[in-house]
Protein backbone atom coordinates (compact mmCIF):
# COMPACT_ATOMS: atom_id res chain seq x y z
CA UNK A 1 0.00 0.00 0.00
CA UNK A 2 1.39 3.42 -0.91
CA UNK A 3 1.79 6.15 1.73
CA UNK A 4 -1.28 7.88 0.36
CA UNK A 5 -3.32 4.79 0.88
CA UNK A 6 -4.14 5.76 4.45
CA UNK A 7 -6.17 8.66 3.10
CA UNK A 8 -7.78 6.25 0.71
CA UNK A 9 -8.77 4.08 3.65
CA UNK A 10 -10.55 6.88 5.47
CA UNK A 11 -12.42 7.55 2.29
CA UNK A 12 -13.44 3.93 2.17
CA UNK A 13 -14.66 4.02 5.76
CA UNK A 14 -17.39 6.31 4.54
CA UNK A 15 -18.42 3.78 1.91
CA UNK A 16 -18.89 0.85 4.22
CA UNK A 17 -22.46 -0.36 4.52
CA UNK A 18 -23.42 -2.17 7.66
CA UNK A 19 -20.84 -3.43 10.10
CA UNK A 20 -17.36 -4.72 9.28
CA UNK A 21 -14.48 -5.80 11.48
CA UNK A 22 -12.13 -2.81 11.61
CA UNK A 23 -9.19 -4.55 9.96
CA UNK A 24 -11.33 -5.59 7.00
CA UNK A 25 -11.47 -2.10 5.52
CA UNK A 26 -8.33 -2.79 3.53
CA UNK A 27 -8.82 -5.10 0.54
CA UNK A 28 -5.62 -7.09 0.54
CA UNK A 29 -5.77 -9.17 -2.63
CA UNK A 30 -6.37 -6.69 -5.43
CA UNK A 31 -6.18 -6.58 -9.18
CA UNK A 32 -2.79 -8.33 -9.21
CA UNK A 33 -4.29 -11.36 -7.55
CA UNK A 34 -7.08 -11.30 -10.12
CA UNK A 35 -4.50 -11.40 -12.91
CA UNK A 36 -2.68 -14.36 -11.37
CA UNK A 37 -5.40 -17.04 -11.60
CA UNK A 38 -6.38 -15.64 -14.96
CA UNK A 39 -2.87 -16.21 -16.28
CA UNK A 40 -2.38 -19.66 -14.76
CA UNK A 41 -5.79 -20.57 -16.10
CA UNK A 42 -4.71 -19.66 -19.60
CA UNK A 43 -1.65 -21.88 -19.14
CA UNK A 44 -3.70 -24.86 -18.08
CA UNK A 45 -6.29 -24.29 -20.78
CA UNK A 46 -3.79 -23.90 -23.59
CA UNK A 47 -2.02 -27.06 -22.50
CA UNK A 48 -5.24 -29.06 -22.40
CA UNK A 49 -5.90 -27.97 -25.96
CA UNK A 50 -2.42 -29.15 -26.95
CA UNK A 51 -3.08 -32.46 -25.24
CA UNK A 52 -6.12 -32.99 -27.44
CA UNK A 53 -3.74 -33.55 -30.34
CA UNK A 54 -1.24 -35.83 -28.67
CA UNK A 55 -3.30 -37.88 -26.28
CA UNK A 56 -6.77 -37.87 -27.79
CA UNK A 57 -5.39 -37.86 -31.34
CA UNK A 58 -7.73 -35.15 -32.61
CA UNK A 59 -5.95 -34.58 -35.90
CA UNK A 60 -7.90 -31.51 -36.98
CA UNK A 61 -6.49 -29.45 -34.11
CA UNK A 62 -2.89 -30.16 -35.19
CA UNK A 63 -2.18 -26.68 -36.62
CA UNK A 64 -2.55 -25.10 -33.19
CA UNK A 65 -0.45 -27.65 -31.32
CA UNK A 66 2.82 -25.74 -31.24
CA UNK A 67 1.02 -22.45 -30.74
CA UNK A 68 -0.73 -23.86 -27.67
CA UNK A 69 2.54 -25.04 -26.17
CA UNK A 70 4.32 -21.75 -26.73
CA UNK A 71 1.32 -19.81 -25.42
CA UNK A 72 1.33 -21.94 -22.29
CA UNK A 73 5.04 -21.29 -21.85
CA UNK A 74 4.78 -17.53 -22.42
CA UNK A 75 2.04 -17.19 -19.82
CA UNK A 76 3.67 -19.59 -17.37
CA UNK A 77 6.87 -17.56 -17.36
CA UNK A 78 5.00 -14.46 -16.26
CA UNK A 79 2.61 -16.22 -13.90
CA UNK A 80 4.63 -15.58 -10.77
CA UNK A 81 5.17 -11.89 -11.42
CA UNK A 82 1.83 -10.67 -10.04
CA UNK A 83 2.50 -12.65 -6.88
CA UNK A 84 5.94 -11.16 -6.52
CA UNK A 85 4.74 -7.61 -7.02
CA UNK A 86 1.94 -8.00 -4.53
CA UNK A 87 4.07 -9.24 -1.62
CA UNK A 88 4.46 -6.86 1.28
CA UNK A 89 8.14 -7.80 1.30
CA UNK A 90 8.94 -8.93 -2.26
CA UNK A 91 12.66 -9.26 -1.59
CA UNK A 92 11.94 -12.06 0.85
CA UNK A 93 10.19 -14.20 -1.77
CA UNK A 94 12.93 -16.85 -1.59
CA UNK A 95 11.71 -17.81 1.87
CA UNK A 96 8.87 -19.65 0.24
CA UNK A 97 11.38 -21.98 -1.38
CA UNK A 98 13.77 -22.16 1.53
CA UNK A 99 11.39 -22.86 4.38
CA UNK A 100 8.03 -23.75 2.88
CA UNK A 101 5.22 -24.72 5.18
CA UNK A 102 3.93 -28.07 3.94
CA UNK A 103 0.41 -27.31 5.17
CA UNK A 104 0.23 -24.16 3.10
CA UNK A 105 -1.28 -24.44 -0.36
CA UNK A 106 0.52 -21.29 -1.38
CA UNK A 107 3.91 -22.72 -0.47
CA UNK A 108 3.29 -26.04 -2.16
CA UNK A 109 2.18 -24.21 -5.27
CA UNK A 110 5.77 -23.06 -5.80
CA UNK A 111 6.81 -26.66 -6.21
CA UNK A 112 3.85 -27.58 -8.41
CA UNK A 113 4.75 -24.63 -10.58
CA UNK A 114 8.40 -25.70 -10.80
CA UNK A 115 7.36 -29.27 -11.65
CA UNK A 116 4.97 -28.13 -14.35
CA UNK A 117 7.46 -25.72 -15.91
CA UNK A 118 10.43 -28.08 -15.87
CA UNK A 119 9.11 -31.58 -16.09
CA UNK A 120 6.12 -30.98 -18.34
CA UNK A 121 6.15 -27.86 -20.43
CA UNK A 122 9.82 -27.30 -21.13
CA UNK A 123 10.41 -30.99 -21.63
CA UNK A 124 7.54 -31.35 -24.05
CA UNK A 125 8.56 -28.27 -26.01
CA UNK A 126 12.10 -29.54 -26.17
CA UNK A 127 11.12 -32.90 -27.56
CA UNK A 128 8.73 -31.27 -30.00
CA UNK A 129 11.29 -28.83 -31.32
CA UNK A 130 14.46 -30.86 -31.00
CA UNK A 131 14.80 -31.81 -34.64
CA UNK A 132 13.87 -28.32 -35.77
CA UNK A 133 16.46 -26.88 -33.41
CA UNK A 134 19.14 -29.13 -34.88
CA UNK A 135 18.13 -28.14 -38.38
CA UNK A 136 18.08 -24.43 -37.56
CA UNK A 137 21.41 -24.65 -35.73
CA UNK A 138 22.95 -25.75 -38.99
CA UNK A 139 21.33 -23.10 -41.16
CA UNK A 140 21.20 -20.01 -38.93
CA UNK A 141 23.71 -17.20 -38.67
CA UNK A 142 25.68 -16.26 -35.59
CA UNK A 143 24.61 -15.79 -32.77
CA UNK A 144 21.37 -17.62 -33.44
CA UNK A 145 23.13 -20.81 -34.46
CA UNK A 146 24.83 -21.05 -31.09
CA UNK A 147 21.57 -20.30 -29.33
CA UNK A 148 19.91 -23.16 -31.16
CA UNK A 149 22.80 -25.47 -30.46
CA UNK A 150 22.61 -24.77 -26.75
CA UNK A 151 18.82 -25.09 -26.77
CA UNK A 152 19.07 -28.46 -28.45
CA UNK A 153 21.61 -29.47 -25.78
CA UNK A 154 24.11 -30.14 -28.55
CA UNK A 155 22.02 -33.04 -29.74
CA UNK A 156 22.66 -34.19 -33.29
CA UNK A 157 20.60 -37.32 -33.87
CA UNK A 158 17.79 -36.79 -36.35
CA UNK A 159 17.34 -40.41 -37.33
CA UNK A 160 13.92 -41.98 -37.64
CA UNK A 161 14.56 -43.93 -34.43
CA UNK A 162 15.32 -40.77 -32.50
CA UNK A 163 12.24 -39.07 -33.91
CA UNK A 164 10.00 -41.94 -33.02
CA UNK A 165 11.41 -41.81 -29.49
CA UNK A 166 10.62 -38.11 -29.45
CA UNK A 167 7.02 -38.80 -30.41
CA UNK A 168 6.64 -41.42 -27.71
CA UNK A 169 8.24 -39.12 -25.18
CA UNK A 170 5.83 -36.34 -26.10
CA UNK A 171 2.91 -38.66 -25.66
CA UNK A 172 4.16 -39.81 -22.25
CA UNK A 173 4.83 -36.25 -21.11
CA UNK A 174 1.43 -35.07 -22.26
CA UNK A 175 -0.24 -37.91 -20.40
CA UNK A 176 1.56 -36.81 -17.24
CA UNK A 177 0.98 -33.21 -18.26
CA UNK A 178 -2.79 -33.33 -18.19
CA UNK A 179 -3.08 -34.10 -14.47
CA UNK A 180 -0.18 -31.73 -13.89
CA UNK A 181 -2.06 -28.94 -15.62
CA UNK A 182 -5.11 -29.83 -13.56
CA UNK A 183 -2.95 -29.68 -10.46
CA UNK A 184 -1.42 -26.36 -11.46
CA UNK A 185 -4.65 -24.48 -11.77
CA UNK A 186 -6.63 -26.67 -9.44
CA UNK A 187 -4.15 -25.67 -6.77
CA UNK A 188 -4.96 -22.03 -7.32
CA UNK A 189 -8.61 -22.91 -6.90
CA UNK A 190 -7.68 -24.83 -3.76
CA UNK A 191 -5.89 -21.82 -2.34
CA UNK A 192 -9.26 -20.11 -2.31
CA UNK A 193 -11.45 -23.15 -1.84
CA UNK A 194 -9.71 -24.23 1.35
CA UNK A 195 -10.32 -20.97 3.21
CA UNK A 196 -13.11 -21.92 5.59
CA UNK A 197 -13.23 -18.41 7.00
CA UNK A 198 -14.67 -17.11 3.75
CA UNK A 199 -17.96 -18.65 2.60
CA UNK A 200 -17.69 -17.15 -0.88
CA UNK A 201 -14.38 -18.93 -1.41
CA UNK A 202 -14.55 -21.95 0.84
CA UNK A 203 -16.26 -24.55 -1.28
CA UNK A 204 -15.40 -27.98 -2.57
CA UNK A 205 -16.42 -26.93 -6.06
CA UNK A 206 -13.95 -24.05 -6.21
CA UNK A 207 -10.96 -25.92 -7.70
CA UNK A 208 -13.24 -27.63 -10.23
CA UNK A 209 -14.92 -24.41 -11.32
CA UNK A 210 -11.56 -22.69 -11.55
CA UNK A 211 -10.21 -25.46 -13.71
CA UNK A 212 -13.17 -25.54 -16.05
CA UNK A 213 -13.17 -21.79 -16.56
CA UNK A 214 -9.41 -22.03 -17.11
CA UNK A 215 -9.94 -24.54 -19.88
CA UNK A 216 -12.54 -22.28 -21.45
CA UNK A 217 -10.25 -19.26 -21.36
CA UNK A 218 -7.22 -21.22 -22.61
CA UNK A 219 -9.05 -22.65 -25.60
CA UNK A 220 -10.51 -19.24 -26.39
CA UNK A 221 -7.08 -17.66 -26.19
CA UNK A 222 -5.55 -20.14 -28.60
CA UNK A 223 -8.36 -19.51 -31.07
CA UNK A 224 -7.72 -15.80 -30.75
CA UNK A 225 -3.96 -16.14 -31.19
CA UNK A 226 -4.37 -18.54 -34.10
CA UNK A 227 -6.57 -16.10 -35.92
CA UNK A 228 -4.38 -13.11 -35.12
CA UNK A 229 -1.16 -14.90 -36.03
CA UNK A 230 -2.58 -16.17 -39.30
CA UNK A 231 -3.76 -12.66 -40.04
CA UNK A 232 -0.34 -11.15 -39.32
CA UNK A 233 1.43 -13.75 -41.39
CA UNK A 234 -1.24 -13.58 -44.08
CA UNK A 235 -1.58 -17.32 -43.99
CA UNK A 236 -4.86 -19.12 -44.56
CA UNK A 237 -6.76 -20.35 -41.52
CA UNK A 238 -7.70 -23.97 -41.61
CA UNK A 239 -11.46 -23.88 -41.01
CA UNK A 240 -11.63 -27.56 -40.07
CA UNK A 241 -9.24 -26.83 -37.22
CA UNK A 242 -11.02 -23.68 -36.16
CA UNK A 243 -14.43 -25.32 -36.27
CA UNK A 244 -13.19 -28.24 -34.20
CA UNK A 245 -11.64 -26.05 -31.53
CA UNK A 246 -14.71 -23.82 -31.47
CA UNK A 247 -16.77 -26.94 -30.98
CA UNK A 248 -14.66 -27.95 -27.98
CA UNK A 249 -14.95 -24.41 -26.67
CA UNK A 250 -18.70 -24.66 -26.93
CA UNK A 251 -18.82 -27.84 -24.87
CA UNK A 252 -16.35 -26.43 -22.38
CA UNK A 253 -18.48 -23.33 -21.85
CA UNK A 254 -21.53 -25.52 -21.30
CA UNK A 255 -19.74 -27.57 -18.66
CA UNK A 256 -18.34 -24.44 -17.02
CA UNK A 257 -21.74 -22.83 -16.93
CA UNK A 258 -23.30 -25.97 -15.50
CA UNK A 259 -20.76 -26.08 -12.70
CA UNK A 260 -21.23 -22.44 -11.82
CA UNK A 261 -24.99 -22.80 -11.98
CA UNK A 262 -24.71 -25.83 -9.70
CA UNK A 263 -22.71 -23.82 -7.19
CA UNK A 264 -25.28 -21.05 -7.28
CA UNK A 265 -28.31 -23.32 -6.95
CA UNK A 266 -26.63 -25.30 -4.19
CA UNK A 267 -25.96 -22.20 -2.16
CA UNK A 268 -29.43 -20.83 -2.65
CA UNK A 269 -31.07 -24.11 -1.74
CA UNK A 270 -28.97 -24.86 1.33
CA UNK A 271 -29.60 -21.31 2.53
CA UNK A 272 -26.79 -21.31 5.04
CA UNK A 273 -26.03 -18.41 7.32
CA UNK A 274 -23.96 -16.54 4.77
CA UNK A 275 -26.62 -16.58 2.07
CA UNK A 276 -28.06 -13.21 3.08
CA UNK A 277 -24.84 -11.25 2.92
CA UNK A 278 -23.73 -13.05 -0.22
CA UNK A 279 -27.03 -12.21 -1.85
CA UNK A 280 -26.45 -8.61 -0.84
CA UNK A 281 -22.94 -8.85 -2.23
CA UNK A 282 -23.93 -9.98 -5.70
CA UNK A 283 -26.86 -7.64 -6.05
CA UNK A 284 -25.14 -4.52 -4.75
CA UNK A 285 -21.43 -4.90 -5.36
CA UNK A 286 -21.03 -7.49 -8.09
CA UNK A 287 -24.09 -6.85 -10.21
CA UNK A 288 -22.24 -5.49 -13.21
CA UNK A 289 -19.27 -7.83 -13.07
CA UNK A 290 -21.29 -10.96 -12.33
CA UNK A 291 -24.63 -10.78 -14.07
CA UNK A 292 -23.74 -8.54 -16.95
CA UNK A 293 -20.11 -9.33 -17.77
CA UNK A 294 -19.48 -12.84 -16.44
CA UNK A 295 -22.82 -14.44 -17.22
CA UNK A 296 -24.47 -12.45 -19.97
CA UNK A 297 -21.50 -11.24 -22.00
CA UNK A 298 -19.10 -13.98 -20.98
CA UNK A 299 -21.29 -17.06 -21.22
CA UNK A 300 -24.76 -16.66 -22.65
CA UNK A 301 -23.90 -14.52 -25.65
CA UNK A 302 -20.79 -16.52 -26.68
CA UNK A 303 -22.79 -19.72 -26.23
CA UNK A 304 -25.42 -18.29 -28.52
CA UNK A 305 -22.82 -17.21 -31.05
CA UNK A 306 -21.06 -20.57 -31.03
CA UNK A 307 -24.33 -22.47 -31.27
CA UNK A 308 -25.34 -20.27 -34.18
CA UNK A 309 -22.06 -20.85 -35.96
CA UNK A 310 -22.40 -24.57 -35.41
CA UNK A 311 -25.99 -24.94 -36.48
CA UNK A 312 -26.23 -22.61 -39.45
CA UNK A 313 -23.93 -23.28 -42.34
CA UNK A 314 -22.43 -19.82 -42.52
CA UNK A 315 -19.60 -19.01 -44.87
CA UNK A 316 -16.02 -19.02 -43.65
CA UNK A 317 -15.61 -15.31 -43.17
CA UNK A 318 -18.79 -14.96 -41.13
CA UNK A 319 -17.81 -17.89 -38.95
CA UNK A 320 -14.39 -16.36 -38.35
CA UNK A 321 -16.01 -13.11 -37.30
CA UNK A 322 -18.40 -14.92 -34.99
CA UNK A 323 -15.61 -16.97 -33.41
CA UNK A 324 -13.47 -13.88 -32.92
CA UNK A 325 -16.28 -12.02 -31.21
CA UNK A 326 -17.09 -15.00 -29.04
CA UNK A 327 -13.55 -15.52 -27.83
CA UNK A 328 -13.07 -11.84 -26.96
CA UNK A 329 -16.29 -11.91 -24.94
CA UNK A 330 -15.21 -15.14 -23.27
CA UNK A 331 -11.87 -13.64 -22.22
CA UNK A 332 -13.73 -10.70 -20.69
CA UNK A 333 -16.10 -13.08 -19.00
CA UNK A 334 -13.39 -15.29 -17.50
CA UNK A 335 -11.47 -12.25 -16.27
CA UNK A 336 -14.69 -11.07 -14.66
CA UNK A 337 -15.06 -14.54 -13.11
CA UNK A 338 -11.66 -14.19 -11.48
CA UNK A 339 -12.55 -10.69 -10.35
CA UNK A 340 -15.80 -11.85 -8.83
CA UNK A 341 -14.10 -14.60 -6.90
CA UNK A 342 -11.03 -12.73 -5.69
CA UNK A 343 -12.38 -9.24 -5.13
CA UNK A 344 -15.92 -10.37 -4.43
CA UNK A 345 -14.72 -12.57 -1.60
CA UNK A 346 -13.23 -9.56 0.14
CA UNK A 347 -16.10 -7.15 -0.29
CA UNK A 348 -18.22 -8.60 2.48
CA UNK A 349 -17.37 -8.72 6.15
CA UNK A 350 -16.68 -11.97 7.96
CA UNK A 351 -19.20 -10.74 10.48
CA UNK A 352 -21.76 -11.29 7.70
CA UNK A 353 -23.15 -7.88 8.52
CA UNK A 354 -21.51 -5.44 6.12
CA UNK A 355 -20.03 -4.69 2.74
CA UNK A 356 -16.89 -2.80 1.75
CA UNK A 357 -15.56 -1.33 -1.48
CA UNK A 358 -12.42 -1.91 -3.45
CA UNK A 359 -10.62 1.16 -4.71
CA UNK A 360 -8.24 0.06 -7.40
CA UNK A 361 -5.14 2.23 -7.63
CA UNK A 362 -4.12 3.25 -11.09
CA UNK A 363 -0.41 3.84 -10.51
CA UNK A 364 1.61 2.03 -7.90
CA UNK A 365 3.03 -1.41 -7.78
CA UNK A 366 -0.35 -3.03 -7.24
CA UNK A 367 -2.30 -0.77 -9.56
CA UNK A 368 -4.16 -1.05 -12.82
CA UNK A 369 -1.19 -0.02 -14.95
CA UNK A 370 1.02 -2.69 -13.43
CA UNK A 371 -1.65 -5.29 -14.11
CA UNK A 372 -2.05 -4.23 -17.72
CA UNK A 373 1.70 -4.48 -18.20
CA UNK A 374 1.67 -7.94 -16.66
CA UNK A 375 -1.13 -8.97 -19.00
CA UNK A 376 0.69 -7.60 -22.04
CA UNK A 377 4.04 -9.12 -21.12
CA UNK A 378 3.20 -12.73 -22.05
CA UNK A 379 2.19 -11.60 -25.51
CA UNK A 380 5.56 -9.91 -25.93
CA UNK A 381 7.26 -13.08 -24.74
CA UNK A 382 5.14 -15.12 -27.10
CA UNK A 383 6.20 -12.90 -29.99
CA UNK A 384 9.83 -13.62 -29.17
CA UNK A 385 9.16 -17.33 -28.78
CA UNK A 386 7.34 -17.52 -32.09
CA UNK A 387 10.27 -15.79 -33.77
CA UNK A 388 12.72 -18.22 -32.18
CA UNK A 389 10.75 -21.45 -32.46
CA UNK A 390 8.89 -21.83 -35.72
CA UNK A 391 5.20 -22.53 -35.94
CA UNK A 392 3.60 -23.63 -39.15
CA UNK A 393 -0.02 -22.82 -38.84
CA UNK A 394 -1.47 -24.84 -41.62
CA UNK A 395 -0.95 -28.16 -43.33
CA UNK A 396 1.92 -29.63 -41.37
CA UNK A 397 2.62 -32.48 -39.04
CA UNK A 398 4.48 -31.37 -35.93
CA UNK A 399 7.34 -33.78 -35.71
CA UNK A 400 8.64 -34.38 -39.23
Contact residues for other proteins, defined by CB under 8 A: 1, 5-6, 9-10, 13, 19-26, 28-29, 83, 86-90, 92-93, 95-96, 98-101, 103-107, 110, 118, 123, 126-127, 130, 153-157, 161-162, 165-166, 169, 191, 194-198, 346, 349-353
- How far apart are CB 190 and other proteins at their closest, in Å? 11
Q: Which is nearer to other proteins, 194 or 325 (CB)?
A: 194
**Angle, vertex CA 175, rays to CA 150 and CA 129, nearest 5:** 25
What is the C-alpha separation between 251 and 245, in angstroms, rounded? 10
Kindly report the three-state secondary structure assignment for every residue of the chain: CCCCHHHHHHHHHCCCEECCCHHHHCCCCCHHHHHHHHHHHHHHHHHHHHHHHHCCCCHHHHHHHHHHHHHHHHHHHHCCHHHHHHCCCHHHCCHHHHCCCCCCHHHHHHHHHHHHHHHHHHHHHHHHHHHHHHHHHHHCCCCHHHHHHHHCCCCCCCCHHHHHHHHHHHHHHHHHHHHHHHHHHHHHHHHHHCCCCCCCCCCCCHHHHHHHHHHHHHHHHHHHHHHHHHHHHCCCCCHHHHHHHHHHHHHHHHHHHHHHHHHHHHHHHHCCCCHHHHHHHHHHHCHHHHHHHHHHHHHHHHHHHHHHHHHCCCCHHHHHHHHHHHHHHHHHHHHHHHHHHHCHHHCECCCCCEECCCCCCCCCCCCHHHHHHHHHHHHHHHHHHHHHCCCCCCCCCCCC
- How far apart are CB 136 and other proteins at their closest, in Å? 16
- How far apart are CB 196 and other proteins at their closest, in Å? 5
> Beta 354-355 vs 17-18: how paired, if at all?
antiparallel
Q: Which is nearer to other proteins, 90 or 236 (CB)?
A: 90
- How far apart are CB 61 and other proteins at their closest, in Å? 26
- How far apart are CB 146 and other proteins at their closest, in Å? 16
Q: Which is nearer to other proteins, 27 or 334 (CB)?
A: 27
Q: Which is nearer to other proteins, 169 or 375 (CB)?
A: 169
Q: Which is nearer to other proteins, 92 or 359 (CB)?
A: 92
- How far apart are CB 399 and other proteins at their closest, in Å? 12
Q: Which is nearer to other proteins, 162 or 297 (CB)?
A: 162
Count of alpha carbons within 13 Å of 42, Cβ hemisphere only?
33
Give the other-Cβ count within 10 Å of 395's Cβ: 10
Q: Which is nearer to other proteins, 123 or 308 (CB)?
A: 123
Q: Which is nearer to other proteins, 101 or 258 (CB)?
A: 101
- How far apart are CB 24 and other proteins at their closest, in Å? 5
- How far apart are CB 40 and other proteins at their closest, in Å? 16
- How far apart are CB 201 and other proteins at their closest, in Å? 8
Q: Which is nearer to other proteins, 202 or 297 (CB)?
A: 202
- How far apart are CB 317 and other proteins at their closest, in Å? 43
Q: Which is nearer to other proteins, 135 or 310 (CB)?
A: 135
Cβ burial of 143 (10 Å; 0-12, 13-18, 19+) is exposed
Amino acid sequence: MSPHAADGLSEMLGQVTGFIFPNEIEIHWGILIVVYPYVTGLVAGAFILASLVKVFKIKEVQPTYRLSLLTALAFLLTATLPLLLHLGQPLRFYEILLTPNPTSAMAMFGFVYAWYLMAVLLLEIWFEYRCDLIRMAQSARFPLDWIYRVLSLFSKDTSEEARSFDRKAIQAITIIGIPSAFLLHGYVGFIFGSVKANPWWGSVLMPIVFLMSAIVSGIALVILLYMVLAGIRREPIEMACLDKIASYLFYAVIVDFSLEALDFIHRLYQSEESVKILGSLITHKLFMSLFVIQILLGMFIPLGILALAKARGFNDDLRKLLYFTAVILIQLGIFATRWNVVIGGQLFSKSFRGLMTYKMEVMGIEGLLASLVLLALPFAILAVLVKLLPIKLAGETATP
